Amino acid sequence: MLLGASLVGVLLFSSLVLKLPWTQVGFSLLLLYLGSVGWRFVWVFIKTIKRDVFGGMVLLKVKVKVQRYLRQRQTIPILFASTVQRHPDKTALIFEGTDTHWTFRQLDDYSSSVANFLQARGLVSGDVAALFMENRNEFVGLWLGMAKLGVEAALINTNLQRDTLRHCLTISRARVLIFGSEMAPAVFEIHASLDSSLSLFCSGPWEPSSVPPNTEHLDPLLEDAPKHLPSRPDKGFVDKLFYIYTSGTTGLPKAAIVVHSRYYRIAAFVYYGFRMRPDDIIYDCLPLYHTAGNIVGIGQCLLHGMTVVIRKKFSASRFWDDCIKYNCTIVQYIGELCRYLLNQPPREAENQHRVRMALGNGLRHSIWTKFSGRFNISQVAEFYGATECNCSLGNFDSQVGACGFNSRILPFIYPIRLVRVNEDTMELIRGPDGVCLPCQPGEPGQLVGRIIQQDPLRSFDGYLMQSANNKIASNVFKKGDQAYLTGDVLVMDELGYLYFRDRTGDTFRWKGENVSTTEVEGILSRLLDMADVAVYGVKVPGTEGRAGMAAVANPAGSCDLEHLAQLLEKELPLCARPIFMRLMPELHKTGTFKFQKTELRKEGFDPAIVKDPLFYLNAQKGCYVPLDQGVYNRIQAGKEKL
Lowest mean pLDDT of 10-19, 66-75, 242-251, name the range.
10-19
Q: In what helix (H) or strand (E) does residue 472 lie, and over which residues does it extend?
A: strand 472-474
Mean pLDDT of all residues in 163-167? 90
Share of the chain above pLDDT 70, in %: 90
CATH superfamily of this structure's domain 402-503: Luciferase; Domain 3 (2.30.38.10)
Residue 164 has what pLDDT? 87
Cite the residue boundaries of each domain of the chain with CATH code 2.30.38.10: 402-503
Residues of the chain with CATH 3.30.300.30: 508-637
pLDDT at 68: 96
| For residue 28, pLDDT beyond 80 | no
Instruction: Identify the pLDDT of residue 489.
Output: 86
Residue predicted with more confidence, 14 or 207: 207
Between 290-299, 309-318, 610-619, the lowest mean confidence (pLDDT) is in: 610-619
pLDDT at 14 over 50: no
pLDDT at 216: 96
CB 388 within 8 A of CB 378: no
Question: Do residues 449 and 416 lie in contact, with contact meaning Cβ atoms separated by under 8 Å?
Answer: yes
Of 304-318, 319-333, 505-519, the poorest mean pLDDT is in 505-519
d(CA 447, CA 468): 19
CB atoms within 10 A of CB 244: 24
Tell me the per-residue pLDDT of 515-567, one tens digit each, with 9 for 90 and over: 777 778 878 877 887 678 888 889 888 887 789 999 998 887 778 888 888 88
Give me the mean pLDDT over the 359-369 stretch: 88
What pLDDT is recorded for position 410?
A: 81
Model pLDDT for residues 117-141, shown as the tens digit of each residue? 999 999 999 999 999 999 999 999 9
User: pLDDT over 90 for what percent of the chain?
Assistant: 59
CATH code, residues 508-637: 3.30.300.30
Q: CA nearest 395: which of 542, 248, 320, 495?
A: 495
Query: Which of 231-245, 357-371, 532-546 bottoms out in mean pLDDT, i.e. has the lowest?
Result: 532-546
For 166-217, give the secondary structure using H, E and C. HHHHHHHCCCEEEEEHHHHHHHHHHHHHCCCCCEEEEECCCCHHHCCCCCEE
pLDDT (mean) for 323-328: 97
What pTM, to 2 d.p., does this model score?
0.81
pLDDT at residue 17 above 50? no
Q: Which of 480, 481, 462, 458 is nearest to 471 (CA)?
A: 462
User: If pLDDT is split at 50, 70 and 90, which confidence band does 642 have?
Assistant: confident
Q: Is the pLDDT reported for residue 506 higher than 70?
A: no
Distance CA 286, CA 135 (A): 8
CB 484 within 8 A of CB 448: yes
Q: What is the tens place of the pLDDT at every residue in 182-217?
A: 999 999 999 999 998 999 999 999 999 999 999 999
Contact 297, 332 (CB under 8 A): yes
Domain spanning 73-313: which CATH class is it, in words? alpha beta
Work out the pLDDT band at 589, boundaries 50, 70, 90.
low
Instruction: Pinpoint the residues of the chain covered by CATH 3.40.50.980.
Output: 73-313
**Per-residue model confidence (pLDDT) at position 329:** 98
Mean pLDDT estimate for the chain: 87
pLDDT at 250: 47
pLDDT at residue 10 greater than cutoff 60: no
Task: Tell me the pLDDT band of 247, cut-offs 50, 70 and 90.
Answer: low
Q: How far apart are CA 102 and CA 108, in angstroms?
A: 10
pLDDT at 497 over 80: yes
Name the pLDDT band for 2 (thresholds 50, 70, 90).
Answer: very low
Reported as a pLDDT band with limits 50, 70 and 90, residue 454 is confident
* Highest mean pLDDT of the ranges 146-150, 366-370, 483-487, 584-588: 146-150
User: Which of 100-104, 117-121, 500-504 is least confident?
Assistant: 500-504
